[in-house]
């Protein structure tokens, strides 16, 4: 993966995984997302290189819990057994929001994660997305 300014590193869910998630956990709010897991904002090439081990965890990405707040809900995700991002926040997929709420508000739900029974394994790919 090559550094590009103005991007963020993500795990982009496959369409199959997105469909499976939406079937298993029906969204509560009107704007449905369930698109990606953010890993890092504006990663430098050095940071991308440091994530090389994480990229080998593609087959070990799974949903372990759900959190709902005022107008936003997300799914807690673990990658290679890790639940926390290097910056101390948590890996998650914003499932849905109710405008005017924004997906970024999912970051505030870490302490509200409730474990779900079993895990939902996710497929997708690690990629850089443009902001």
Give 65's strand partners: 76, 115
The pLDDT mean for the chain works out to 93
**Is the pLDDT reported for residue 9 higher than 80?**
yes
Residue ranges covered by each domain of the chain:
7-130
Sign of the four-CA dihedral 98, 102, 103, 108: negative
Reported confidence tier of residue 124, pLDDT bands at 50, 70, 90? very high
106 pLDDT exceeds 90? yes
Q: Encode pLDDT of 24-83 as tens digits.
A: 999 999 999 999 999 998 898 898 888 888 888 777 899 999 999 999 999 999 998 999
Q: Rounded to the nearest 5°, which phi and psi values hold at 112?
A: -100, 5
Specify whether domain 7-130 bears CATH 3.40.50.1980. no
Whole-angstrom CA distances from 101 to 33, 57, 70, 74, 112 are 13, 31, 8, 13, 17
């Amino acid at each position: 993966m090559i550094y590009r300014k103005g991007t963020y590193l993500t795990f982009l869910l496959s369409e199959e995984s997105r469909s499976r998630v939406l079937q298993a956990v029906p969204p509560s709010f009107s704007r449905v997302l369930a698109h990606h897991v953010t890993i890092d904002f504006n990663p430098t090439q050095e940071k991308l290189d440091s994530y090389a081990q994480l990229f080998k965890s593609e087959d070990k990405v799974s949903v372990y819990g759900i959190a709902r707040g005022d107008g936003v809900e997300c799914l807690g995700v673990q990658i290679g057994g890790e639940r926390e991002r290097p910056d101390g926040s948590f890996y998650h997929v914003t499932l849905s929001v109710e405008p005017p709420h924004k997906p970024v508000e999912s970051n505030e739900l870490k302490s509200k994660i409730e474990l779900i029974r079993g895990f939902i394994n996710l497929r997708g790919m690690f990629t850089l997305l443009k902001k």
